[in-house]
Each structure stands twice: as C-alpha cells, then as structure tokens.
Amino acid sequence: MLTLNRRAVVALGLAAALSSAAPVMAQSDYPNKPITLVVSYAAGGGTDAIARLFAARLEQALGGRVIVENRPGAAANIGTEVVAGAEPDGYTLLIGNQGPMVVNPHLFDLPADPAEALDPIAMIADAALVVVVGPKLPVPTLGELVDAAKAQQLVFGSAGNASASHLASVLFGQTAGIDIRHVPYQGAGPAVNDLVGGHIDFMVTTIPSVIGLVQDGTLTALAVTGSARFAQLPDVPTAQEAGVDGYTASAWYGLLGPKGLPEDVRQRLANATAEVLSDPAFTDKLANDGGVPSTLVGADFAAYMAQERARWGEVVAAAGISVE
C-alpha cells in the first residue's frame, strides 16, 4: 500500500510539474538557467541526502533545473566560501547546517563569516537528537544516567570532533553538571556499533542512526533533545520532562545564498521552499530521516542562527573544544 501511494504521489507531482512549468516561468524571468545548490559535504552523507531530496522537489516548485554540487573540504568551510564568493543572483545557493554556519565561526579563522557573507533564505528542517544507552550501562531513565555519571565518569561516543552529536553531549554534561569523557568516531555508524557492542556507555545521536535499534530494544532511548516528543518514539520523554532542565539541542538545515540577493529572487526562493515543505511527499521523507519541517524565513532564520551561534559559542568555550 505504502509503495503504491508513494509512487502515485511522485507520478502526480511529476505530471503537475510538467503541466504547470510553462505558465509559471512566463511570469518571472527567474530562474532562466540551472541553479547550483552547493552541499559542503561529499556525496553520500546525511546533509547530502536531504539536499538531493530537497533539490528534486525544489525543481518542481521553481520550474527550473536545480543541480546539487558537492564541495566538501576544510570541515565544510569550503562550501561556505564558494557560495560567499559567488554572484548574488540566485543561481548559486547553499544548504547550510549547524556545523559550518554557527559552530565553525568559533573554531576557525574563517575567510568568510557566514553571518556576514550569506543571506539566509529559509530554514528547511530541524532534527532533534536522542540520548541512548546500550548493554554497558542499562539504565532506564535519564536521571539514573546522571546518577551513574556522578558515581563514575562515563564514556560517550560521537560522530566526530565538533559534530552535532559531540556538542550536544557536551552541552548535556554541562547542563546536568556531570563530567564525561569523549570518544570521537568517524560518523555515527561506527560509534553506534560500539554502543551496541557494549564498549561505550552512551551517545547523544541523530534519531535515524538508532531508531531501529531502539524500537527493537537493543538500545534504550532515555530522552529526545527537542522541545517536543518525536512522533515515531512517542514513549520517549523530552530531556526537559526527564528532569534535565533547559537541555535542548538539534541539528538543522537551511537554504542560504550569497549576501545581496535581489529581494524578488529571495522571496521567490522562500515561497518555493515553503511549497516544498508543505508537500507531504517531501515531509514524509523528512520525518523518516528524523526531521521536522521549519517555518522560519529570512530575518527570523537569521535571528535563530545568531541565537544558536551564541549558545554553541558558550558550549565550545566552556568545554575547551578548539581547532586552529
């Protein structure tokens, strides 16, 4: 049933795009050539997957080609630089996420400050993380995890130095007042593997990386780090509910362009993004990936990023995370 629905939706979407492409394009000149959507990671990562799904649906909304270009390197700072240096005509855009947009400015001496050199168009999605424990520390609640950490220093795994899962864990330690030890891995996969194997105590990681193991009972989810519960894990409380006051953390993605986008182009892109985010065919896939569609646009998105930047700056400084 599910597959039939999906196929029907995709087919309908395609048909709609084909039939409506001509009149939409006649109203506005933009876009009259292919748009390059820069992804700051190599093909195959989580951000890349979201970007490709988004680009495919954005093409229909805009009535023009959107080509994903991977520009990985220098801790995702290359992508920022490429877009910051591009012509602000709406034909070079960036999928920006938490790391390069608000964390890296605290870690690197950047040639292009994302807050100065980029125009935020719209936030796409927000993905909460989840606190999970495995066979090494089989505690049933977040409170007991905190108690265990007070009795003996616990070891947590992350997807890498300064990754969302690393910073969210550090913030957890700071908020709960516990001292924890960080084991960096290359990506969430190997870290979850060692959590399942009982080699590390706990992780704060993206929901898709562990949801199957949580539903099966191999791992126990103690709390989600968003401000609300996650639909596919209805029994898992938020960190707030579980007693760690004021602890929220999430990974997010947004659409940005070079500073100085013409207002009509920015508006057109914001509207197209809103259209993509209101399509269940896209949001269903987003939800499968742990993401909740966002409604933040333009200045509101900029304000959110400024707030996030200040917040993670404190975490980075307090934890002494550094990169030179």
Partner 1 sequence: MFDVFANLGLGFTVALTLKNIGLCFLGCLIGTLVGVLPGVGPVATIAILLPVTLSLDPTGALIMLAGIYYGAQYGGSTTAILVNIPGEATAVVTALDGHQMARNGQGGLALGLAAIGSFIAGTVATIVIAAVGVPMTRFGLLFGPAEYFSLMIMGLVLAVVLAHGSILKAVSMIAVGVLLSCIGADMETGRERMTFDLPMLHDGIEFVVIAMGVFGFAEIFKNLADPEKRDVVRGAIGRLWPAWRELKENLAPMLRGTALGSILGVLPGNGAILGPFASYAVEKRLSKTPERFGKGMPAAVAGPESANNAGAQTSFIPLLTLGLPPNAVMALMVGAMMIQGIVPGPQVIERNPELFWGLIASMWIGNLMLVIINLPLIGLWVKLLQIPYRLLFPGIVVFCCIGLFSISNDPAQVIMAAVFGLVGYTLFKLGFEAAPLALGFVLGDLLEQKLRQALIISNGDPSTFVRSPLSAALLLVGLVALVMAVLPAIRRSRDEVFVENT
Under the binding rule (CB under 8 A), the answer on residue 16 touching partner 1 is no
- Burial pattern 71-83, b for ≥16 Cβ within 10 A else e, equals beeebbbebbbbb
Among the listed residues 20, 33, 65, 69, the single contact to partner 1 using CB under 8 A:
69
Name the residue nearer to partner 1 (CB basis): 10 or 306: 10
- Burial pattern 28-51, b for ≥16 Cβ within 10 A else e, equals eebbeeebbbbbbbeeebbbbbbb
Among the listed residues 62, 71, 224, 226, the single contact to partner 1 using CB under 8 A:
71
Under the binding rule (CB under 8 A), the answer on residue 78 touching partner 1 is yes
What the block records as the tokens of 94 is 């960036």
DSSP state, residue 101: I
Under the binding rule (CB under 8 A), the answer on residue 138 touching partner 1 is no
Shortest distance in whole angstroms from residue 73 CB to partner 1: 6
Under the binding rule (CB under 8 A), the answer on residue 155 touching partner 1 is yes
112, 52 in Cβ contact below 8 A? no
Among the listed residues 83, 101, 265, 321, the single contact to partner 1 using CB under 8 A:
321
Among the listed residues 34, 177, 197, 260, the single contact to partner 1 using CB under 8 A:
197
User: How far, in Å, CA of 292 to CA of 46, rounded?
Assistant: 15
Other C-beta atoms closer than 10 Å to the C-beta of 186 total 10
For 78, 135, 294, the CA distances from 273, given in Å and listed in that order, are: 24, 42, 10
Under the binding rule (CB under 8 A), the answer on residue 92 touching partner 1 is no
Name the residue nearer to partner 1 (CB basis): 25 or 180: 180
What the block records as the tokens of 16 is 């709609």
Distance of CA 10 to the CA centre of its chain: 24
Under the binding rule (CB under 8 A), the answer on residue 182 touching partner 1 is yes
Among the listed residues 85, 138, 212, 280, the single contact to partner 1 using CB under 8 A:
212
- Per CB under 8 A, residues contacting partner 1 are 2-3, 6-7, 10-11, 42-44, 46, 48-49, 52-53, 56, 69-75, 77-78, 107, 153, 155, 160-162, 181-187, 189-190, 192-194, 196-200, 208, 211-213, 215-216, 218, 284-285, 288-289, 321-324
